[in-house]
């Protein structure tokens, strides 16, 4: 090999390796969480993780019928996507069954391997607290504190006492969120300004911190606390806050002000995680970086074989620049579904496609795995 060729070859290999380290292909780390030997996963949160709670509370919900679920289950399960969610890929990677929804009376298959308490549309703050700020949480009143109550009711059923619970939960993974995105979403769509919504961040982050504390006090050793998405890139916000002012958009055509707000929440959340870590030095409390992982999807869209012209258009939806109209949402009459959802990042303008969730989950697992300290007994 000539020197230049070998140099070139070397740089190519190096570039390839760095790309690979940053964004490894999904199949490469499909099994890593298995090394943690988790026997259960418990999930609190909203529609990003709901596997069937909201549709038991509200059977008339859009999420209770096709096209939701069409590409994996061939029927609606209550998951807000065309197929699997990140929590499903996390469960698969950990080698535990897909999580049952707590409110599903037929729940059996994840019995003893965890439970999903997440409810689509739910908020970090209790609905009455939001109401005091004149914000109506219209979808559900099963906010984070209700979900925690369900969780402790569930633990009372499987543990003899606190000591037994601590023992039983040692090999469990806890997901506290994503949650909080709806608190802000309801506020913004009900006319609150970004300044007013920014003033809510302390309370929302405190609610998440309190939930994590209760989870840790019940015996959790490994807790993931995800941040919120860059909502300024989502069709629902791009449509609702569309403007002719081109300086309002960043280089990915996302709304700067909204993404700046998401970053602010996420920074405050990470501060709270640091405080929790100081209080509980022997617990692995890990930030889930949904914000940057999602931006990675947009940046790598071509490489990931998304249709680059459609990365900000909903697959299931109709109208406007983003194929989204709040009054004609996915699942409604005469609302079309795109022929190939794998071309799209956004499923319905609010939630992602299975393919987007799959890619995000594999990147997140890669990022989170070393931080979970699975080879450290943590006692
Ligand atoms: C529970 O499962 C049975 C058998 O699959 C089914 O007939 C029934 O409708 C289910 N009940 C609910 C509430 O989903
Ligand atoms: C809200 O909570 C009340 C009880 O606190 C319950 O009766 C009602 O059905 C709930 N509403 C919704 C929409 O879930
Ligand atoms: C943008 O400009 C067009 C034409 O100048 C106008 O019709 C439209 O209402 C404007 N849209 C917004 C959101 O300001
Ligand atoms: C970004 O958010 C911070 C915190 O809310 C705020 O102080 C700042 O003005 C925002 N910047 C822009 C460009 O929106
Ligand atoms: C959304 O749909 C409604 C009802 O069909 C229609 O009146 C409205 O113009 C649509 N909005 C946009 C932005 O396309």
257 close to ligand 4 (CB < 6 Angstrom): yes
By alpha-carbon position, which residue is closest to atom 13 of ligand 3?
A: 243
Token readout for 268 is 């405050």
Q: How confident is the model at residue 379 (pLDDT cuts 50, 70, 90)?
A: low
Q: pLDDT (tens digit, 9 = 90+) per residue, 131-184?
A: 999 999 999 999 999 999 999 999 998 888 889 989 989 999 999 999 999 999
By alpha-carbon position, which residue is closest to atom 10 of ligand 5?
A: 325
Note if 348 is an active site residue. yes
pLDDT at res. 11: 52
Choices 2.40.128, 3.30.420, 1.20.1250, 3.40.50: CATH for 38-244+255-292: 3.40.50
pTM: 0.90
DSSP string, 318-363: -STTTT--TTS-TTSTT--B-S-GGG-SBSSSSSB-HHHHHHHHHH
Task: Please report the beta strands in 82-213, taking only residues with DSSP state E, as ranges in sequence order.
Answer: 114-116, 172-176
Judge if the upstream peptide bond of residue 220 is cis by omega within 30 degrees of 0: no
Give the residue-averaged pLDDT of 326-353. 97
Contact (Cβ atoms closer than 8 angstroms) between residue 81 and residue 351: yes
Tell me how far the alpha carbon of residue 326 lies from the centroid of ligand 3, in angstroms: 19
Q: Is the pLDDT of residue 17 over 50?
A: no
Tell me how far the alpha carbon of residue 303 lies from the centroid of ligand 4, in angstroms: 32
Q: Which of 176, 229, 263 is nearest to 345 (CA)?
A: 229
């Amino acid at each position: 090999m000539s020197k230049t060729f070998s140099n070139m070859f070397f740089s190519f290999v190096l570039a390839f390796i760095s790309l690979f380290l940053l964004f490894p292909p999904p199949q490469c780390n499909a099994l890593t969480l298995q090394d943690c030997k988790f026997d259960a996963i418990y999930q609190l949160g909203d529609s990003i993780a709901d596997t069937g709670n909201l549709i038991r509370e509200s059977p008339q919900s859009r999420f209770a019928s096709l096209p939701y679920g069409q590409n994996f289950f061939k029927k609606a399960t209550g998951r807000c996507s065309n197929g699997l969610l990140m929590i499903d890929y996390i469960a698969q990677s950990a080698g535990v069954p897909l999580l049952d929804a707590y409110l599903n009376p037929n729940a059996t298959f994840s019995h003893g391997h965890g439970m999903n308490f997440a409810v689509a549309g739910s908020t970090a703050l209790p609905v009455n607290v939001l109401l005091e700020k004149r914000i109506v949480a219209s979808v559900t009143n099963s906010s984070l504190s209700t979900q925690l109550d369900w969780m402790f009711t569930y633990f009372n059923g499987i543990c003899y006492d606190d000591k037994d619970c601590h023992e039983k939960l040692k090999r469990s993974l806890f997901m506290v969120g994503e949650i909080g995105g709806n608190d802000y979403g309801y506020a913004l769509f009900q006319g609150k300004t970004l300044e007013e919504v920014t003033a809510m961040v302390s309370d929302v982050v405190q609610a998440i911190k309190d939930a994590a504390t209760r989870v840790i006090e019940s015996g959790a050793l490994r807790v993931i606390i995800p941040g919120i998405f860059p909502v300024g890139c989502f069709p629902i916000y791009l449509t609702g806050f569309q403007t002719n002012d081109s300086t309002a958009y960043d280089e990915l055509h996302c709304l700067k002000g909204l993404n700046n707000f998401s970053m602010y929440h996420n920074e405050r959340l990470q501060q709270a995680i640091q405080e929790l870590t100081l209080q509980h030095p022997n617990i692995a409390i890990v930030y889930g970086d949904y914000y940057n992982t999602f931006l990675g999807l947009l940046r790598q869209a071509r490489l990931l074989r998304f249709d680059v012209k459609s990365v900000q258009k909903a697959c299931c939806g109709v109208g406007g620049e983003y194929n989204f109209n709040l009054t004609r949402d996915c699942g409604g009459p005469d609302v079309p579904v795109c022929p190939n959802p794998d071309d799209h990042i956004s499923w319905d303008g609010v939630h992602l496609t299975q393919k987007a969730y799959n890619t995000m989950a594999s990147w997140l697992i890669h990022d989170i795995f070393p931080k979970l300290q699975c080879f450290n007994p943590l006692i």
